[in-house]
Amino acid sequence: MASRPAHEKPREGRVLRLVLGDQLNRRVSSLTDLDTDGGVVLLVEVRGEATYVRHHKQKIAFLFAAMRHFAEELREEGAEVDYVRLTDAGNTGSFTGELERALTRHRIARIVVTEPGEWRVWEMMQGWRDSLPVPVEIRADNRFLCPREDFARWAEGRHHLRMETFYRGMRKRTGLLMEGGEPLGGRWNFDAENRKRLPKGHRLPDRIGFQPDAITREAIALVEQEFPDHFGDCAAFSWPVTRADALASLKHFLAECLPTFGDYQDAMKGNEPFLYHALISPALNAGLLTAEEVCRAAERAHREGAVPLHCAEGFIRQILGWREYVRGLYWARMPAYAETNALAASRPLPWFYWSGETDLHCIRQVVDQTRAHAYAHHIQRLMVTGNFALIAGLDPAQVEEWYLIVFADAYEWVELPNVHGMVLWADGGVMGSKPYAASGAYIDRMSDYCRDCAYDVKAKTGPTACPFNYLYWNFLIENEERLAGNQRMAMPYRTLAGMDDGRRKQIRTDAARFLDSLSADQNEAQVASVK
């Protein structure tokens, strides 16, 4: 709680509870005493948040729709809600400006807010304690299972922060999938069983979408009008924007997809963006669902016999493990974390990350579906657009900005560790013991993309060879000094050492030709027109 100079008299008035657009949960810490203390709940649509990066249109529409529905639900409950719309007269466009204006509209004694997800906003909040004329109480974010301080304690003194160690601690702490202090089924991790390719002719489950209601349609129209040049379109918008719909979406996933989720967790298929994935990350990250309830529901489904253990574990690990871990890492290591560039990568982001116009069929698939749905699943993000960015040596800052823009679930606390650490290894190994570099063979094994590609995934060199193949070896050559000593990279470096000079030279030539053609493609004006 902020202290105030002793000579100042406490202001009389009510509590102002600021709820940010990704804190839309009735149990969020800023609202826990709403019933007893009352006060005014403030929600604000501000241009600054929609444009600090030029978010995908669906992300902005999703959040505005969810904020408007949440405000209605609070009102129905009897709460006093002050809702500022983007186009309201006098809207200053920033959280700070809107707090200042709210203090002129209401007699306020103190402000209560839950800590934000992003460092950028955290810094802003620190400023409020000095600049605003009332005390500002910043409460811990209770939507996560691991408090920031607990993660910081765990991370203290460790250079490498391995997810698996953290995850086991979280299983013990929560008792999820535990029996008598031991992991259910005798193993912590069933990852090895979660790597199947989709069989030919496999019938995927139908997915439920949510038809935009009048409030959501209005939010979409607002976004089309105010942010017409942002990336993406809203034609296929079908995200759940209320807690009730998010719960319906979770229920559908648990019944129809989770029993098979684990098997095909890493699979990819042309024109099939969703497969068995949960599609809950926008709702989860905005507060419509909580990590705890989702994990408990998945565990229950297993204990009731509806879901095999490897599927329940594979899913729970993503949330209890990865999601909590990246959030903890972000807060433990920011702001320095974002600044490193361990592999000194500097190539500009190719234009096809926006347009999808490329002969690399796998990239085209992921970019096109991302434009249409503001969604790509984990392996697409990691092993297609991510892997390409790594082995082509793309500038981490530009890649990170792209990931923050294009997905409906993107917030820096989750995007940055995944991109900077897991994908680009720009943190020099804090997060992952080795870079996830892979050749075209991985994509071919896990998808049917290569079948429809102009390149030949089996060819290693030459103009028709899959660029992932020579870029992979070129990446190893370029980073030999930095990576050859890494135990986990020993095998590929042994293979590289066995290559004759001619092969190495050919790899370098193919890679240079391809990468130079990318640079030639760069065109700022074109990029702006596609965004």
Q: Residue 17 binds which one of ligand SF4, ligand DLZ, ligand FAD, none, with CB within 5 to 8 A depending on kind?
A: none
- DSSP 8-state symbol, 132: S
Binding to ligand SF4 by residue 466, rule CB under 6 A? yes
Can you name the residues that pair with 114 across neighbouring β-strands? 139
Binding to ligand SF4 by residue 465, rule CB under 6 A? no
> For residue 174, which phi and psi values (nearest 5 degrees)?
-95, -15
Q: Which of residues 343, 423, 443, 471 is near ligand SF4 by CB under 6 A?
A: 443
> For residue 15, which phi and psi values (nearest 5 degrees)?
-90, 135
> Minimal distance in Å, beta carbon 474 to ligand SF4?
14
- DSSP 8-state symbol, 441: H
Interaction site with ligand DLZ (CB under 6 A): 20-22, 44-46, 49-50, 55, 60, 63, 116-118, 121, 411
Rg (C-alpha) for the chain, rounded Å, is 24
> Minimal distance in Å, beta carbon 141 to ligand DLZ?
9
> For residue 18, which phi and psi values (nearest 5 degrees)?
-85, 125
Cα separation, 181 vs 7, whole angstroms: 55
Binding to ligand SF4 by residue 177, rule CB under 6 A? no
Q: Which of residues 446, 450, 483, 507 is near ligand SF4 by CB under 6 A?
A: 450
Q: Residue 118 binds which one of ligand SF4, ligand FAD, ligand DLZ, none, with CB within 5 to 8 A depending on kind?
A: ligand DLZ
Nearest CB to ligand SF4, comparing residues 455 and 475: 455
Nearest CB to ligand FAD, comparing residues 135 and 308: 308
Binding to ligand SF4 by residue 366, rule CB under 6 A? no
> Minimal distance in Å, beta carbon 278 to ligand DLZ?
21
Cα separation, 347 vs 215, whole angstroms: 42
Binding to ligand FAD by residue 407, rule CB under 6 A? yes
Cα separation, 83 vs 73, whole angstroms: 12
Give the DSSP H or E segment for 114: strand 108-114
Give the DSSP H or E segment for 165: helix 163-174
468-497: contacts with ligand SF4 (CB under 6 A):
468
Which single residue is written with the structure tokens 């309830």?
A: 293
Binding to ligand SF4 by residue 360, rule CB under 6 A? yes
Give the DSSP H or E segment for 351: none
**Binding flags for ligand FAD, 293-332, as an x/- string (CB under 6 A):** -------------------------xx--xx--x------
Nearest CB to ligand DLZ, comparing residues 345 and 414: 414
Closest CA to 353 of 396, 393, 389, 383: 389
Q: Which of residues 17, 230, 302, 381 is near ligand FAD by CB under 6 A?
A: 381
350-379: contacts with ligand FAD (CB under 6 A):
377-378
> For residue 139, which phi and psi values (nearest 5 degrees)?
-95, 150
| Count of residues interacting with ligand FAD (CB under 6 A) | 27
> Minimal distance in Å, beta carbon 112 to ligand DLZ?
15
Cα separation, 276 vs 274, whole angstroms: 6
Binding to ligand FAD by residue 118, rule CB under 6 A? no
Q: Residue 378 binds which one of ligand FAD, ligand SF4, ligand DLZ, none, with CB within 5 to 8 A depending on kind?
A: ligand FAD
Nearest CB to ligand FAD, comparing residues 128 and 330: 330
Are the beta carbons of 422 and 387 closer than 8 angstroms?
A: no
Q: Residue 163 binds which one of ligand DLZ, ligand FAD, ligand SF4, none, with CB within 5 to 8 A depending on kind?
A: none
Binding to ligand SF4 by residue 457, rule CB under 6 A? yes
Binding to ligand SF4 by residue 308, rule CB under 6 A? no
- For 447, how many CA atoms within 13 A lie in the half-sphere containing its CB? 28
> For residue 334, which phi and psi values (nearest 5 degrees)?
-75, 150
User: Which tokens belong to 3?
Assistant: 């202290």
Q: Which of residues 455, 470, 472, 475 is near ligand SF4 by CB under 6 A?
A: 455
Nearest CB to ligand FAD, comparing residues 66 and 414: 414
Q: With 0-12 CB in 10 A as exposed, 13-18 as middle and 19+ as buried, what is 14?
A: middle
The SS3 assignment for 62 reads helix
**Binding flags for ligand SF4, 311-350, as an x/- string (CB under 6 A):** ----------------------------------------
Binding to ligand SF4 by residue 440, rule CB under 6 A? yes
Binding segment toward ligand SF4, per CB under 6 A, in 165-173, 328-336, 464-472, 478-486: 464-472
**Binding flags for ligand FAD, 249-288, as an x/- string (CB under 6 A):** ----------------------------xxxxx--xx---
Q: Which residues of 266-300 are buried (b: 16+ CB within 10 A; e: fewer)?
A: bbbbbebbbbbbbbbbbbbbbbbbbbbebbebbbe
Cα separation, 368 vs 232, whole angstroms: 9
Q: Residue 22 binds which one of ligand DLZ, ligand FAD, ligand SF4, none, with CB within 5 to 8 A depending on kind?
A: ligand DLZ
| Strand pairing class (182-183; 178-179) | antiparallel
435-474: contacts with ligand FAD (CB under 6 A):
none
Cα separation, 395 vs 399, whole angstroms: 6
Closest CA to 376 of 366, 386, 384, 365: 366
The SS3 assignment for 10 reads coil
CA of residue 449 relative to chain centroid, distance: 24
> For residue 438, which phi and psi values (nearest 5 degrees)?
-150, 155
Residues in the site for ligand FAD, rule: CB under 6 A? 277-281, 284-285, 318-319, 322-323, 326, 377-378, 381-382, 386, 403, 407, 409-410, 414-415, 418-419, 422-423
Positions touching ligand SF4 (CB under 6 A) are 360-362, 440, 443-444, 449-450, 453, 455, 457, 466-468
